[in-house]
Amino acid sequence: MTNATTMSPVQQEAFIHLSIIKPIEDIIEGLESGRFTDKSLSYLNERLTLFMELAAKVLKQEAHLWETPIDATFLNDHTRDAFVKDFKAVLDFFKKWLDSTQSN
């Protein structure tokens, strides 16, 4: 199995896009379209937690890229708008990180 450190820059870009950016964009689209219901909250909490943990690992080296605060409460009363805001903030972070890796 190949990990991110042994990938070429093109492979890293594709990996980041397919495994992080695209899934977050799909979640945002699902939230904005109403596809996710109240029954989706545990899934959304799980996904948001996962992507925030990934962001935290990157953030240790790329702190300057994080501009939008995350207000996630991880409670069942987390509103659709709050999820959209949080997922968009995480997406923005990963896009900036990807852009910064391409410019290096």
Q: For 38-73, how does the pLDDT look when each residue is reduced to its tens digit (9 = 90+)?
A: 677 778 878 888 887 777 776 665 555 555 544 444
Question: Are the C-beta atoms of 72 and 82 separated by less than 8 Å?
Answer: yes
| Cα–Cα distance for residue pair 91/32, rounded to 1 Å | 15
Mean pLDDT of 79-84: 72
- pLDDT above 70 as % of the chain: 67
Phi, psi of 72 (to 5 degrees): -60, 130
Between the alpha carbon of residue 96 and those of residues 11, 39, 64, 90, 91, the distances in Å are 17, 32, 10, 10, 9
pTM (2 decimals)?
0.61
Between helices 9-16 and 80-103, what is the axis angle to 10°? 180
Tokens of 9: 């820059």
- Which pLDDT value is given to residue 104? 58
Q: How large a percentage of the chain has pLDDT more than 90?
A: 0
Q: Which residue has 């991110």 as its token pair?
A: 4
> Average pLDDT for residues 7-16, to the nearest whole number?
77
Model confidence at 77: pLDDT above 50? no
